[in-house]
Chains A and B, each alone.
Chain A
Amino acid sequence: MKGPIVFAVTLAVLLAIGTAVWLSSDGPDLLGPNGSPPEAFIADIPPGQEVCVGKQLIPEGAQTAIMTLGTYGRSGGEIAVIAKDANGALVRGSAAFKEGVVVVPLRPSRVASALCLKNTGKVKIAVAGRPAAGLSVAFPSSTSTTWISSASEIAHRFAAVRVAPLGALTMWAALLAAVAAGIVGIVAVLRSVRSS
Chain B
Amino acid sequence: MERTWFGRWASSNSVALLCALATLLSAIAWMSVTPPFQAPDEPTHLAYVQRLAETGRPPSPAETDRPSLSSAGQAALDATNFSAVIGNQRGKPPWSAAEQLRAERILSQDLAENNGGGAGAYSSYPPLYYGLAVGPYLVADWAGASIIGQLTAVRLLSCLLTALAAFFIFLFVRDLLPGTPLAAPAGALAVGLLPYVGFIGSSVNNDALLLPISACLFWLLARSFRRGLDSQGAAAIGLVLVLGWATKPTFVGLVPGALMALVALLICAHRSEKRNVLTLFTSLVLGMALPFALFLAVTVGIWGRSLRPAVTASDVLANSNAAAPSKSVGGLLSYVWQYWLPRLPFMTDANFGFYPLWQTMFKGFVGRFGWGDYEFPSWLYSAVLWCWIALLALATRALIVSRRALRSHLPDFLSYAVMLGGLLLVIGGPGYVTHLDSPFPFEQARYLFPALALFGGLVGLAIRGAGARFGSYVAVGVVVGTSALDLGGLLLTLGRYYA
Q: Which residues from chain A sit less than 8 Å from chain B, CB to CB?
A: 3-4, 7-8, 11-12, 15, 19, 27-28, 30, 32-33, 35-38, 57, 59-60, 111, 130, 132-133, 136, 138, 147, 150, 154, 156-158, 160-163, 170-171, 173-175, 177-182, 184-193, 195-196
Asked if residues A161 and B486 are in contact (CB atoms below 8 Å), the reply is no
Asked if residues B22 and A132 are in contact (CB atoms below 8 Å), the reply is no
Measured between C-beta atoms, what is the minimum distance from B21 to chain A in Å? Answer: 5
Q: A37-B90, A189-B476 are in contact. Are A181 and B499 (CB under 8 A)?
A: no
**Could you say which residues of chain A place their CB within 8 Å of the CB of B118?**
none
By beta carbon, the residue of chain B nearest A35 is B84
**Could you say which residues of chain A place their CB within 8 Å of the CB of B152?**
162-163
Measured between C-beta atoms, what is the minimum distance from A168 to chain B in Å? Answer: 11
By beta carbon, the residue of chain A nearest B19 is A188
With beta carbons under 8 angstroms apart, the residue of A11, A27, A57 that contacts B98 is A57
Which of A36, A111, A178 has the most B CB atoms < 10 Å from its CB? A178
With beta carbons under 8 angstroms apart, the residue of B29, B99, B184, B499 that contacts A160 is B99
Asked if residues A158 and B91 are in contact (CB atoms below 8 Å), the reply is no
Add 17 more A-B contacts to A37-B91, A161-B148 (CB < 8 A). A4-B472, A11-B480, A27-B499, A147-B499, A154-B498, A158-B494, A174-B32, A178-B487, A182-B484, A182-B487, A184-B22, A189-B189, A189-B479, A193-B472, A195-B15, A195-B181, A196-B468
Give CA–CA (A36, B158) in the complex, Å: 32
Asked if residues B88 and A35 are in contact (CB atoms below 8 Å), the reply is yes
With beta carbons under 8 angstroms apart, the residue of B24, B93, B96, B184 that contacts A192 is B184
Size class of the contact patch on chain B? 35 or more
A-B contact pairs, 6 of them (CB 8 A): A158-B498, A161-B94, A163-B145, A171-B494, A173-B32, A177-B32
Q: A185-B193, A192-B185 are in contact. Are A175 and B29 (CB under 8 A)?
A: yes
**Could you say which residues of chain B place their CB within 8 Å of the CB of A156?**
95
Give CA–CA (A59, B184) in the complex, Å: 51
**Could you say which residues of chain A place their CB within 8 Å of the CB of B495?**
28, 147
Measured between C-beta atoms, what is the minimum distance from A23 to chain B in Å? Answer: 8
With beta carbons under 8 angstroms apart, the residue of B22, B88, B100, B472 that contacts A130 is B88
With beta carbons under 8 angstroms apart, the residue of A32, A147, A177, A193 that contacts B29 is A177
By beta carbon, the residue of chain A nearest B89 is A37
Asked if residues B472 and A161 are in contact (CB atoms below 8 Å), the reply is no
**Could you say which residues of chain A place their CB within 8 Å of the CB of B148?**
161-163
The reply on B389 being an interface residue by CB < 8 A is no
Give CA–CA (A177, B93) in the complex, Å: 23
Give CA–CA (A7, B491) in the complex, Å: 25
**Could you say which residues of chain B place their CB within 8 Å of the CB of A138?**
90
Asked if residues A181 and B193 are in contact (CB atoms below 8 Å), the reply is yes
Give CA–CA (A174, B15) in the complex, Å: 23
The reply on B103 being an interface residue by CB < 8 A is yes
Q: Mark B66-106, 1 if CB is under 8 A from A, else 0.
A: 00000000000001110111001111111110111001100
Q: A161-B36, A186-B476, A188-B15 are in contact. Are A181 and B486 (CB under 8 A)?
A: yes
**Could you say which residues of chain B place their CB within 8 Å of the CB of A7?**
473, 476-477
The reply on B259 being an interface residue by CB < 8 A is no
Q: Mark B468-496, 1 if CB is under 8 A from A, else 0.
A: 10001101110111111011001100110
Q: A181-B29, A189-B185 are in contact. Are A157 and B95 (CB under 8 A)?
A: yes
Give CA–CA (A57, B475) in the complex, Å: 51
Give CA–CA (A161, B22) in the complex, Å: 27
**Could you say which residues of chain A place their CB within 8 Å of the CB of B145?**
163
**Could you say which residues of chain A place their CB within 8 Å of the CB of B15?**
188, 191-192, 195
Measured between C-beta atoms, what is the minimum distance from B423 to chain A in Å? Answer: 27
Measured between C-beta atoms, what is the minimum distance from A140 to chain B in Å? Answer: 11
Give CA–CA (A28, B491) in the complex, Å: 12
**Could you say which residues of chain A place their CB within 8 Å of the CB of B19?**
185, 188
The reply on B419 being an interface residue by CB < 8 A is no
By beta carbon, the residue of chain A nearest B483 is A182
The reply on B62 being an interface residue by CB < 8 A is no
Asked if residues A32 and B490 are in contact (CB atoms below 8 Å), the reply is no
The reply on B310 being an interface residue by CB < 8 A is no
Give CA–CA (A157, B93) in the complex, Å: 9
